[in-house]
Amino acid sequence: MPDNRHRRAVVLTTGLVVVAAALAGAALLSLAVGARAIPFGTVLHALVSPDPNATVDLIVTESRIPRTIIGLLAGAAFGLAGAVIQGVTRNPLADPGILGVNAGAGLFIVIAISFFGITGLTGYVWFGFLGAAITSFVVYAIGSLGRGGATPVKLALAGAAVTAGLTSFTTAVLITDVDAYDQFRFWQVGALANRGTDIAVQGLPFLIVGALLALGSARALNALALGDDVATSFGQNVIVARLLAAGAVVLLCGAATAMAGPIVFIGLVIPHIARAITGPDHRWLLPYSMLLAPLLLLLADVLGRVIARPGEVQVGIVTAIIGAPIFIILARRERLAEL
């Protein structure tokens, strides 16, 4: 038995290395492919010793490096958050938006545009994060009311109700403010383009803390997957475990959504792919999700640049096209499993 565990650990560790190598390749591809194709040698030269007078080097350093960094950070955050929220709610169809992250971030960004006149993405980050955090707290507080505390079903219902209400408020503001709508729609579609490294720097502290909380919750999530009573018998404080996991989702998804917009399906699909490789053990599921999600996000971004040259399709649209059929398949499979 110990030999089997050791062999499994070696296989999964090797798999992580392979995925990390693939992610590095996707990052290099993201730097080289776009409306203007740039040879890999030129990309490496721009990374090592960029020439400020060379147009190609400026494209790499000023445009493609920031969007690649945002893709890596936001993808890792969405992947981790999706795996955590599915573990907390014990719902394989759960998405980070179940805590109202997207709706809260969207409403606060609309408020920032319409009432405070903020037009830059740098300002969006803080308002988006604040909205995601406050909304997630409200959802958890509502879901905790009554007997049993914050059960998975109550959290899902509270999230759906709050999301519906916030979306209505957002729509009400947008239909009365054309300028706010024009600015908000570019953020709402979800994109990596036209983002600067300053946005990544602002979101990085929240992402680091959120990732540490998420990875540190692996054992607790394994226990919660067996049910609250079993988790308690294993010595887990169910309320504290859920609070820490929810805090990780808020930090990860709030910052990532504020940076890149509400990119859909990454947090839903990636944990299923990772689970097919690792099984239900969150000690492996979370690291795999953290690497597979940015891999998919960067490849989707590259695909969006290639299929519409010289323009591009925003990555949020590409991930929706990829993710929607997978979601339907997963939903049908879960439905059949209940029959």
Helical spans, DSSP H, in the chain: 2-32, 40-48, 55-58, 65-89, 101-116, 121-143, 152-176, 178-188, 197-216, 218-224, 228-233, 238-260, 266-278, 282-306, 315-338
Helix axes 238-260, 197-216, angle to 10 degrees: 160
At a CB cut-off of 8 Å and minimum separation 6, what does 265 contact?
A: 95, 319, 320, 322, 323, 324, 326, 327
Residue 312: φ, ψ to 5°: -155, 155
At a CB cut-off of 8 Å and minimum separation 6, what does 273 contact?
A: 292
- Regarding the domain with residue range 2-338, which homologous superfamily does it belong to in the CATH classification? ABC transporter involved in vitamin B12 uptake, BtuC (1.10.3470.10)
Q: Indicate yes or no: pTM above 0.85.
A: yes
Residue 53: φ, ψ to 5°: -100, -5
Closest CA to 211 of 237, 244, 188, 181: 244
CA 107 to each of CA 96, 140, 170, 179, 190: distance values in angstroms, whole numbers, following the listed order? 16, 18, 5, 15, 15
Taking the domains of the chain in order of start, what are their residue ranges? 2-338
Helix (H, G, I), strand (E, B) or coil at 93: coil
b/e for 227-258, b at 16 or more Cβ within 10 A?
A: ebeebeeeebebeebbebbbbbbbbbbbbbbb
What's the rounded Cα separation, in Å, for the pair 132 and 208?
17
pLDDT of residue 310: 76
pLDDT of residue 339: 43
Measured at the CA of 299, the angle between CA 31 and CA 331, to 5 degrees, comes to 160
pLDDT of residue 282: 94
pLDDT of residue 152: 66
Helix axes 101-116, 238-260, angle to 10 degrees: 50
- Contact criterion met (CB below 8 Å) for 78 and 256: yes
Closest CA to 69 of 198, 209, 253: 198
pLDDT in single tens digits along all 339 residues of the chain: 567 788 898 999 999 999 999 999 999 999 988 777 788 788 887 888 887 777 888 888 888 899 999 999 999 999 999 999 888 888 777 777 777 777 888 888 888 888 888 776 667 778 877 888 888 888 878 887 877 666 667 777 888 889 889 989 888 888 887 777 777 776 777 788 877 788 888 888 889 999 999 999 999 999 988 887 888 887 888 888 888 988 898 889 888 887 888 887 888 889 999 999 999 999 999 999 999 999 999 999 999 888 877 778 888 888 888 877 877 777 666 554 544
How many Cα atoms are found within 13 Å in the side-chain-facing hemisphere of 135?
A: 33
pLDDT of residue 150: 65
What's the rounded Cα separation, in Å, for the pair 253 and 75?
10
pLDDT of residue 75: 95
Closest CA to 197 of 61, 339, 40: 61
Alpha carbon 120 to its chain's center = 22
pLDDT of residue 124: 72
On the 0-12 / 13-18 / 19+ scale of CB atoms within 10 A, 307 is exposed
At a CB cut-off of 8 Å and minimum separation 6, what does 3 contact?
A: none
What's the rounded Cα separation, in Å, for the pair 23 and 38?
19
pLDDT of residue 338: 46
Measured at the CA of 242, the angle between CA 236 and CA 245, to 5 degrees, comes to 110
On the 0-12 / 13-18 / 19+ scale of CB atoms within 10 A, 5 is exposed
- Contact criterion met (CB below 8 Å) for 126 and 202: yes
